Chains A and B, each alone.
Chain A
Amino acid sequence: MRNLVEAAGFPQNPPREPGTAAAGSRAIPLIPAKTSKIPDRAFAVAMLGCGVSLLAVVVLIVIELVMKSGLSLHAFGWHFFTTSNWDPVAGDFGALPFIYGTLLSSLEALVIAIPLSIGVAVFITEMCPRPLRGTLSFMTELLAAIPSVVYGLWAIFVLAPLLRAHVQPWLAKYFGWTGLFSGPPFGIGMLAAGVILAIMIVPIIASITREVLTAVPQQQREAVLALGATRWEMIRVGVLRNARTGIVGAIILGLGRALGETMAVTMVIGNTPQIAKSLFAPGYSMASVIANEFTEATGDLYLSALIEIGLGLFLVTIVVNILAGLLVWSVTRGTPARVRA
């Protein structure tokens, strides 16, 4: 055997006798056979610590919000969320106008954004010619990269004047009878807030809808086509219908985003704590009142009231996002979050 190995030209180790270090081979191994387990444990603990920090942050958020709104909770109880009087001077605080403003502007945004998002998602996944697909989806995602304050700037100086000069008079003329479009057209107001919010949540709803639509297996589309369906019928029966749970999840996710959106809304909603039927009227949202009045708040009760509004906002967005997460998860089966450019 050894001769063959020699003949093959392989280098060999000289024969080893048990107990002796053979000449020419290393006597002491470089890497000790036994290594300490401490660094591994320490690392694992450190990583666990990072993970726990996530939990700690959320717990901290809840604690701080509840504690710091204690004064207001104590003073007003449930009535805080049902009364409309926001009077810092008299020390009387009722958050209803802000809740109304947040809900109305978000609802408005959904009404505008849903057809836009689903339409563009269907267009990109089912109808768009291949070369255009990448560009179009990139542009939709670019919309998500624009910061809220930049949207707000554009809304003040471009959108609001546009609404005031062209859209609002048109709406008042043809739909004024609904009572939704009455009063002087300021441009700034609930309508502008809803429109800019819509533009901001379209990318979220559209990108998740696109994922959900793409996840529908090709066999479903073929099954509908083979029955003799037009393309729209194929989309309606074979794609949208199968994806509807995920689409609802996407919409609710968009709602969650709209509820918490601050800067753009603050800049165009008009900052008037009132409940008005007309969309032309200025209003106020929960996030906006915090943004505007937090640093001006005189007195602990005032600040506590604002923080209580923050607590309310927190709870509402948590519930909405959990609901959305469940729906989207049930469709994509809990795959880890995709990194979305």
Chain B
Amino acid sequence: MGVGVHVEKLNAWFGATQALYDVAMEVPANHATAVIGPSGCGKSTFVRCLNRMHETIRDTRLEGTVRIGSLDVYGNSTSAVEVRRRVGMVFQKPNPFPTMSIYDNVAAGLKLNGFHNRRVLDEVVERSLRMAALWDEVKDVLKKKSGASLSGGQQQRLCIARALAVQPEVMLMDEPASALDPISTSKIEELIFQLKEQYTIVIVTHNMQQAARVAEYTGFFLMGKLIEFDKTEKIFTNPSDKRTEDYITGRFG
């Protein structure tokens, strides 16, 4: 089962520019939480702070607490590698490994973690591809086709399978469908719907309809601050904050 994410007093900087101001959020386990807001509001930054990808950019700084289940993400004894193994990430633009076959792409995370047993790999690869709803389309060309030879939508599902293969507890998705056509997008959304039974999902999206379709909870960000966090239904029908209402109704953003 997935675990919840606890965020407290999170502040983040790019150089001297502050990107997040005192963000506090409780992401509930086994649900999908959407993070919405206009461009540049900090939603991607927020999500990247959850799996310590924010610090891979040079000259960044971060303060605050993030806990994934019982794991203190920024604790002194916690390594970034461990955090990233337990939190999976899917990026905006699909980025399969072009020099590897579909099979090797999905198995990459496992191999890095030292699993080389053929049978274990085969089983996990199949399971992950099934979960990502890609198995039937690629099962005959697993080792023959490269990861980059698939269509955009398939590539993104491959990336999802790759992330699922290491069996994370939380899945972070940074606008996973924004580079895809509508049909692929709906496939991804169906996927999220099913995945949230096992995993805790945080999905960044600039598409409010998508948030409404997919997530039970939604957080609205504006200029680096979390303005409102509540059940999706409430955010979209009866938001508490005026700014949320303005964004939802399209007055800006």
Residues of A in contact with B (beta carbons under 8 Å apart): 130, 217, 219-230, 233, 237-238, 241-242, 244
A contact face: mostly helix, strand, loop, or mixed: helix
> Assuming the A-B contacts A237-B97, A241-B97, are A227 and B112 also in contact, with contact meaning beta carbons closer than 8 angstroms in the complex?
yes
B108 interface residue (CB < 8 Å to A): yes
B85 touching A228, Cβ below 8 Å: yes
Within 8 Å CB of A223, what residues of B?
A: 91, 95-97, 159, 162
**In-complex Cβ contact of B84 among A220, A226, A238, A244 (8 A):** A226
Q: With the chains together, A157 CA to B58 CA distance in Å?
A: 45
Can you give 8 A-B contacts (C-beta < 8 A)?
Answer: A220-B95, A223-B95, A225-B84, A226-B51, A226-B53, A226-B91, A227-B109, A228-B109
Q: A227-B112, A237-B112 are in contact. Are A222 and B56 (CB under 8 A)?
A: yes
B201 at the interface (CB under 8 A from A): no
| CB–CB B56/A227 < 8 A | no
Is the Cβ of B81 less than 8 Å from the Cβ of A242?
A: no
Interface set of B (CB-CB < 8 Å, partner A): 51, 53, 56, 58, 81-86, 88-89, 91, 93, 95-100, 108-109, 112-113, 159, 162-163, 166
Task: Determine whether the beta carbon of A220 is less than 8 Å from that of B85.
Answer: no
In the complex, the chain A residue whose C-beta lies closest to that of B172 is A226
Q: Is the CB of A226 within 8 A of B88?
A: yes
On chain A, the residues within 8 Å of B162 by CB distance are 223, 227
CB-CB under 8 A from B159, the residues of chain A are 223
B166 and A228 contact, CB distance less than 8 A: yes
Find out whether the CB atom of A219 lies under 8 angstroms from the CB atom of B91.
Answer: yes
- Closest residue to B99 on the A side, CB-wise? A241
Whether B163 and A229, one on each chain, are in contact in the complex, defined by CB atoms closer than 8 angstroms, is: no
Q: In the complex, what residue of chain B is closest to A129 when comparing beta carbons?
A: B58
Pairs of residues from A and B, 6 with the lowest C-beta to C-beta distance, nearest first? A228-B85, A227-B109, A226-B89, A228-B84, A219-B95, A223-B95
A-side contacts of B98, CB under 8 Å = 242
Report how far A238 CA is from B84 CA in the complex, Å: 16
Nearest B residue (CB) for A238: B97
Complex-state Cα separation, A199 to B32, whole angstroms:
57
* B183 CB to nearest chain A CB (Å): 23
Residue in A221, A237, A242, A244 whose Cβ sees the most chain B Cβ within 10 Å: A237
